[in-house]
Each structure stands twice: as C-alpha cells, then as structure tokens.
C-alpha cells in the first residue's frame, strides 16, 4: 500500500470514530434535556406555591393573629423568615433568567 491509501484509511477510521462519539453524546444530551424539562416544571410549580404561601402569610400576619411571645408566635416568625429567604432565592433566580418570566405568572 502506498502512503495516500494508508492516510485515507486512517482518516476514514478517525471520521467513523468521530461520528460514533458525536452520536453517543447526542443521545446523552437528549436524555439530559428530558430531565431538565421535568426539573423545570417542578421548580415552576414550587415557585407558584411559594408565591401563594407568601400571600397567605402576609394576610395572616396583617390580622395579627399570632403574637411573637408564645411558641406559636415563635414558629410563625420563623416561618416568615424562611418564606423571606425563599422569596430572595426566587428573585435571584428570576434575575438570572434561568426560566421564562411568563411561566411564573400563570
């Protein structure tokens, strides 16, 4: 065999290997995209629920139903603190635009 045939054979094998690698990576990416879609739905549902919970906590807090001097008041205050942290987290995610704002307004 001459050198041109050997080079063509080497490049052909390298091309086939490259195609196989690209195909396997494509299959992995499609699987990961499905997972991302599921996680995005779960996250958006969580955001909607947290916003509804935030509104309910604001309504309850405005009534002054729970005082901070007893155990229930302490728990309610801690619940408000957790809700505040979750709201900050959601705002940070939205500013990074990791998901569409139109999806969270539903």
pLDDT digits (tens, 9 = 90+) for 12-65: 999 999 999 999 999 999 999 988 888 888 888 888 888 888 888 888 778 777
Residue 4: inside a domain, yes or no? no
Question: 50 CB contacts (<8 Å, ≥6 apart)?
Answer: 83, 86, 87, 90
- Angle (nearest 5°) at CA 101 between 97 and 106: 150
Between 68 and 62, the higher pLDDT residue: 62
What was the pLDDT predicted at 99?
53
State residue 80's pLDDT score. Answer: 84
Q: What is the pLDDT of residue 37?
A: 84
The answer to whether residue 33 is domain-embedded is yes
Please determine, for residue 106, whether its predicted confidence score (pLDDT) is greater than 50.
no
| Under 8 Å between Cβ of 80 and 60 | no
- Does 90 have pLDDT greater than 50? yes
How far from chain centre, in Å, is Cα 36?
Answer: 7
Is 71 among the domain residues?
yes
Instruction: Answer whether residue 96 shows pLDDT above 80.
Output: no
Residue 62 lies in a domain: yes
Half-sphere exposure of 79 (CA within 13 A, CB side): 17
Domain count across the chain: 1
HSE (side-chain half, CA atoms, 13 Å) at 8: 5
- 13 in a domain, yes or no? no
């Amino acid at each position: 065999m001459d050198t041109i045939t050997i080079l063509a054979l080497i490049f052909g094998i390298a091309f086939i290997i490259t195609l196989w690698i690209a195909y396997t990576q494509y299959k992995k990416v499609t699987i990961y995209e499905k997972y991302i879609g599921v996680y995005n739905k779960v996250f958006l549902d969580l955001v909607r629920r947290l916003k509804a919970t935030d509104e309910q906590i604001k309504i309850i807090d405005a009534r002054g139903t729970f005082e901070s001097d007893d155990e229930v008041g302490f728990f309610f205050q801690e619940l408000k603190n957790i809700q505040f942290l979750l709201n900050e987290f959601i705002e940070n995610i939205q500013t990074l635009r990791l998901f569409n704002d139109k999806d969270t307004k539903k």
